[in-house]
Structure 1
Amino acid sequence: MEKKNSPFSMIMQYAGSYKRKYVCSVVLAVISVACGMVPYFAVAKMVTAMIGHEEKDMSFFVMWCAAAAVGYISKGIFNGISTSISHTATYLTMKEIRQRLISKLTKMPMGTILGSHSGHYKEVIVDRVESIEVPLAHLLPEMTANVLAPLLMLLYLFTLDWRLALISLITIPVGMAVMSTTMKSYGENYGRSVEIGGRMTNAIVEYMGGIEVIKAFSRSESSYEKYETAVNENAAFFYGWMKSAQWAMSAYNAITPSVLLTVLPFGFIFYASGSLTAGAFVTMIILSLGLLEPLIAAMNYTDNIARVSTVMGQINEVLESREINRTGKVTKMNGNTIEFRNVTFSYDNENDALKNIDLTIPEGKVTSLVGHSGSGKSTVAKLIAGFWDVTDGELIIGGQNVSDIPLEVQAEQIAYVEQNNFLFDETVMENIRKGKAGATDEEVVAAAKAAGCDEFIRGLDKGYQTVVGSAGGHLSGGERQRIAIARAMLKNAPIVILDEATAYIDPENEAVIQSAIAKLVQGKTVIVIAHRLSTITDADNIIVMENGTVSAHGRHDELLRHSQLYRSMWQAHTGTKGGAAE
């Protein structure tokens, strides 16, 4: 049977060089707890001296009072340093986990990411990783210290009277037995809370993301109902969970610290029988009070252990997800010719989006992919861009099978502009600069001019320094598209994919954009997907897709003569009946 790693062993895999910080934090925490017990020893010494009528001068009591004060102060100092170190190590570890998660997303197939709820990965990367901050920063050092230090004190109690030492621990198993009635199902309940909380998060994200549609179609009531149901479900679950656990936790909190209920009567019996001295009896009473406090604090972390286990399971589920298959053996491609050799591809492993296609996209030419919706043309583009792996067959770029090309190398060769492009909530200048790290302002402006968007950018309130809003919400669809084109042009990649990139361009600017693109893609391998056939009539090669296969290919005039499907599409586009006349 495969050995299952503990949640903390999994976390330590990401701690790396920060493990030493955690060790240092634990050592300081142990010292802190030990210092916190010094006052109990001091009180025990002074009370024993008083009831024993020992002749002690004032310096004796001053010394132990000073020892108690030093213990209190030292506890705070060592605890503060320990906490500071553990928090530093924790935030560095959380950073490492988040960086690995983000890096993992870039290697996963787009289908895996897009097939999940919109709030899932945000919740794991932000909320779930954040939830391990308290267990990591506090549980590791404090739980360890709160167990080790009392054990040392317990050994001392055994030297005084082993019988009373054992009796002082009776309330712990009794309290734990009561609490165990709820802890058995803690892991399951916490897992359910994560699931229900995830549904609530997804409902909130969906509601906020679709607020424009909700308002436009007056669907506020029905849409809010879905959100309200998710919130109520989350509240009802936690209320029910806490209610069912309340009696056991209350009993646990009442029973466990009640050490005097056992120590006092049995201690008196031992004292009365002469088997326990008054000094030892008093010392046992005082030290037993200090013994249980850290142990109870340590046991209170048990729910955090279950929480960490669930969270690390979610994190590892993402980190162990299937990646796009890349061996990384090839770091240089010979040219930019693209070949599909008997390629089959399926999004769901059931229905084929592409079926045994063979096609060649020559280097330095403009190739257009056309076809009805669902014909497979965008799938071809996304496979070239490295968003998915082919299911069967070979995809060759620059004479190399893409399975041998690292994703980052493939990405450097391709500029991808699709119909709906994402803009960051930054300035126009920085959004365009995403295409080329370190590009000068002059280079950015030159790309904007070439893409035909310099004029409208300068007309914005702050020109190139205008913040575009979340997802570019302060701009129109056409303006966002033109900025995305400028960003792709700035990248100056040898392969350019335009997936219906001019969909939002208004007719009066379309000629300008087409002219700009024509100049900027000269000498590059260009793949154009367009729903308006009039924009690709000058393409070097037009590939007609139908039901995931290549129906025909050739130039515009050739396809009008020889392809019934292309001719019907052209006629539908132009509103003519004798399309060949064009």
Structure 2
Amino acid sequence: MEIEEKIKEDVKRSIETKKKDAISPSLVNKWLFSFAPQLQGKMHISIMLACFGESLKFTSYFFAAYVATAVISNHIDLQKIYLYGGLTLLALALQCTLTCLSSVKSHRISFEILRSIREKLSEKLERVPLGYVTSTPIGYYKALIVDRVGSLEDWIAHVMPELPSRLLHPILATILLFVVDYRLGLACFVSVPFIILGFIIMYHNSDERMYTWLNSNQDLNARIVEYVNGIHVIKTFGQSRRSYQKFTDSVNYYFSSTLDWWKQSWIAMAILFAFVNSPILGTLPVGLYLYSQQIINMWQLMLGLILPLSIIPNAFQIMMSMEIYSSIETGFRMIRKVLTMPELVRPNQEVTLSDQCYRFENVSFSYEKGIEVLHDINFEVKPNSVFAIVGESGSGKSTIAKLMAGFFDANAGRIYFGDQDVKSIPTSQLMKHVAYVAQDNFLFDTSIRENLKIAKADATDEE
């Protein structure tokens, strides 16, 4: 299947790129704030608010342990319960306030950064070679600017401020368990080796399946946009069966790639969920033994059971953060790839053209590094003459035409028009003299006449 082969090639390149260009969460954070460095201080405030709010949660655990101890031992002091309960409610109200303030601040930061990234991408696409823009499906741009940039929101608005507080919670809980009794502190690590095993199984050789899923998702987005937007043209020219087959192939491959990824993860997820949900696997038997030996009292036993259980929501949030990072890694590479593309630099000042002659001198060109499409091409096209370029499919005929129209810059050699290097001719001036129509040309939703006049708005009917 054509789609499957194309995606496999994309996946192979993605894995090779990942090996050559390793990234880390700190690098991603640094890159994100390069779009809005003035917001970095505000994010630090958001993190501190979230951490302080998280630490206030522990008042409820102490209160729950106190009430449980009072009920079990049948020594209920309502006055103390009301006092401790009131203080706990006050602490939790403050915790909610701080968490909300942190979330509001981080979301505002997120929206500012995403806006800046989208603006940079839009500005960049105006300056990259036109050939790159026309050869890329419109669905790719939608996936890039809307979906991939949008996927960064969870990382900025939630993971950045909340992950430090989520990590702080189990650290504080473990410290408190060691303070209560070091054996309880050690017992809470019983499930950790099994959790690590689950992660090892989940992420072992997962790159290929993950990139296959991401690329198939991207391909499906592109096919949907193209198929829906072009349905009236497809019907008009009787291409519905062929176009629908491509769309169906994309859907089927997305389904199979999703299933393959989850098949690898099922066992690992089962292990992770089982042991992450069992934090008292060690503290329950150890705590009961210590209590039976009168080494710890009932309140300490209750803390030994409640504190590990309080880690569960934070453990899932930490796991979710890792999953979010895996998903944004590809988006990060896609966005950075576009933003670092070489630009098509052209002057604004028009130049004087001596004639309408085209001349190629030792021109070489490659779309991808190391794979030459044209090598050492030389020819001249004189005015008022007919010049045909004949060759097999994929031999570079369209590439020559695109170079003549200024869609790309040659990697080597020079291209002249009117005795001027095309690199020194403004794009708008070159477009006045060159009419380029491709076999797969993109048309705007208007008349053919209006499409033709885009290159030259004041063109007469005769022209």
Same fold (TM over 0.5): yes
Verify: 1:14 aligned to 2:35, yes or no.
no
Q: How far off its partner does 1:284 sit?
A: 1.9
- How many residue pairs get matched? 427
- Report SS of the residue matched to 1:270: helix
1:228 and 1:370 map into 2 onto residues whose CA distance is 46
Verify: 1:201 aligned to 2:216, yes or no.
no
Map of 2:6 onto structure 1: none
Deviations 1:252-308 (A, max 9, x none): 223212223322211111122232233322222222222343233212322112112
1:68 and 1:119 map into 2 onto residues whose CA distance is 52
State the one-letter code of the partner of 2:31: Q
Map of 1:439 onto structure 2: none
Aligned residue among 370, 386, 394 for 1:371: 386
Map of 2:5 onto structure 1: none
1:147 and 1:49 map into 2 onto residues whose CA distance is 31
Structure 1 or 2: more helix by fraction: 2
Deviations 1:87-137 (A, max 9, x none): 222222222222333333333323333344443333222222222222332
Map of 1:108 onto structure 2: 128
Flag the 1:412–1:15 CA change in 2: closer, same or farther, 3 A. farther
State the one-letter code of the partner of 2:59: V
Contact persistence 1:33–1:149 (CA under 8 A): yes
- Report SS of the residue matched to 2:378: strand
* Structure 1 residues 386-401: aligned runs within 5 Å: 386-394=406-414
Map of 1:172 onto structure 2: 192
Q: How far off its partner does 1:76 sit?
A: 2.4
Give the RMSD, CA atoms, in angstroms: 3.9
Contact persistence 2:349–2:426 (CA under 8 A): no
Map of 2:374 onto structure 1: 351
Contact persistence 1:193–1:238 (CA under 8 A): yes
Map of 1:299 onto structure 2: 319
2:281 and 2:99 map into 1 onto residues whose CA distance is 31
Verify: 1:279 aligned to 2:299, yes or no.
yes
State the one-letter code of the partner of 2:202: T
Contact persistence 1:157–1:284 (CA under 8 A): yes
Verify: 1:4 aligned to 2:19, yes or no.
no
Aligned residue among 446, 449, 452 for 1:481: 452
Map of 1:82 onto structure 2: 102
Q: How far off its partner does 1:54 sit?
A: 7.2
- Report SS of the residue matched to 1:485: coil
1:43 and 1:22 map into 2 onto residues whose CA distance is 33
Q: Which of structures 1 and 2 has the larger relative contact order (alpha carbons within 8 angstroms, sep 6+)? A: 2
Contact persistence 1:119–1:205 (CA under 8 A): yes
Structure 1 or 2: more strand by fraction: 1
Q: Mind listing any 5+ residue stretches in structure 1 that lack a counterpart?
A: 360-367, 422-469, 490-500, 503-508, 515-582
Q: How far off its partner does 1:82 sit?
A: 1.7
Flag the 1:382–1:187 CA change in 2: closer, same or farther, 3 A. closer
Farther-moved stretch of structure 1 (177-186 vs 376-385): 376-385
Flag the 1:381–1:301 CA change in 2: closer, same or farther, 3 A. closer
1:218 and 1:65 map into 2 onto residues whose CA distance is 73
- Report SS of the residue matched to 1:355: strand
1:213 and 1:53 map into 2 onto residues whose CA distance is 80
Verify: 1:71 aligned to 2:94, yes or no.
no
Q: How far off its partner does 1:50 sit?
A: 6.1
* Structure 1 residues 364-513: aligned runs within 5 Å: 370-374=385-389, 386-394=406-414, 410-411=426-427, 416=432, 418=435, 472-473=444-445, 475-482=446-453, 485-486=456-457, 489=458, 509-510=461-462
- Report SS of the residue matched to 1:343: strand
Flag the 1:74–1:401 CA change in 2: closer, same or farther, 3 A. farther
Map of 1:138 onto structure 2: 158
Q: Mind listing any 5+ residue stretches in structure 2 that lack a counterpart?
A: 1-18, 367-371, 391-395
Flag the 1:336–1:64 CA change in 2: closer, same or farther, 3 A. farther
Map of 1:310 onto structure 2: 330
State the one-letter code of the partner of 1:477: I
Q: How far off its partner does 1:385 sit?
A: 6.7
Q: How far off its partner does 1:57 sit?
A: 6.4
Map of 1:463 onto structure 2: none
Flag the 1:148–1:247 CA change in 2: closer, same or farther, 3 A. same
Flag the 1:118–1:293 CA change in 2: closer, same or farther, 3 A. closer
Deviations 1:378-406 (A, max 9, x none): 98996687532244445679998666x6x
Contact persistence 1:334–1:399 (CA under 8 A): no
* Structure 1 residues 247-258: aligned runs within 5 Å: 247-258=267-278
2:266 and 2:24 map into 1 onto residues whose CA distance is 28
Map of 1:40 onto structure 2: 61
Contact persistence 2:63–2:85 (CA under 8 A): yes
Map of 1:537 onto structure 2: none
Compute the TM-score of the two structures, normalised by the length of structure 2.
0.77
Aligned residue among 154, 173, 193 for 1:153: 173
Q: How far off its partner does 1:151 sit?
A: 1.1
Flag the 1:24–1:373 CA change in 2: closer, same or farther, 3 A. farther
- Report SS of the residue matched to 1:119: helix
Q: How far off its partner does 1:65 sit?
A: 0.7
Deviations 1:435-458 (A, max 9, x none): xxxxxxxxxxxxxxxxxxxxxxxx
Q: How far off its partner does 1:370 sit?
A: 4.8
Q: How far off its partner does 1:7 sit?
A: 4.5
Map of 1:430 onto structure 2: none
Contact persistence 1:182–1:245 (CA under 8 A): yes
Flag the 1:290–1:212 CA change in 2: closer, same or farther, 3 A. closer
State the one-letter code of the partner of 1:10: V
2:199 and 2:303 map into 1 onto residues whose CA distance is 30
Q: How far off its partner does 1:175 sit?
A: 2.9
Flag the 1:101–1:11 CA change in 2: closer, same or farther, 3 A. farther
- Report SS of the residue matched to 2:235: helix
Flag the 1:400–1:371 CA change in 2: closer, same or farther, 3 A. closer
State the one-letter code of the partner of 1:314: M
Aligned residue among 249, 256, 263 for 2:283: 263
State the one-letter code of the partner of 2:151: S
Contact persistence 1:39–1:67 (CA under 8 A): no
Q: How far off its partner does 1:141 sit?
A: 1.6
* Structure 1 residues 558-573: aligned runs within 5 Å: none
Q: How far off its partner does 1:352 sit?
A: 5.8
2:272 and 2:30 map into 1 onto residues whose CA distance is 32
Contact persistence 1:369–1:377 (CA under 8 A): no
1:332 and 1:478 map into 2 onto residues whose CA distance is 28
Q: Percent identity?
A: 26
Map of 2:308 onto structure 1: 288
- Report SS of the residue matched to 2:57: helix
State the one-letter code of the partner of 1:371: V
2:110 and 2:384 map into 1 onto residues whose CA distance is 50
- Report SS of the residue matched to 1:182: helix
Farther-moved stretch of structure 1 (302-311 vs 331-340): 331-340
Aligned residue among 27, 31, 45 for 2:48: 27
Map of 1:448 onto structure 2: none
Contact persistence 1:186–1:306 (CA under 8 A): no
Flag the 1:208–1:79 CA change in 2: closer, same or farther, 3 A. same
1:334 and 1:237 map into 2 onto residues whose CA distance is 53
2:64 and 2:333 map into 1 onto residues whose CA distance is 47
- Report SS of the residue matched to 2:456: helix
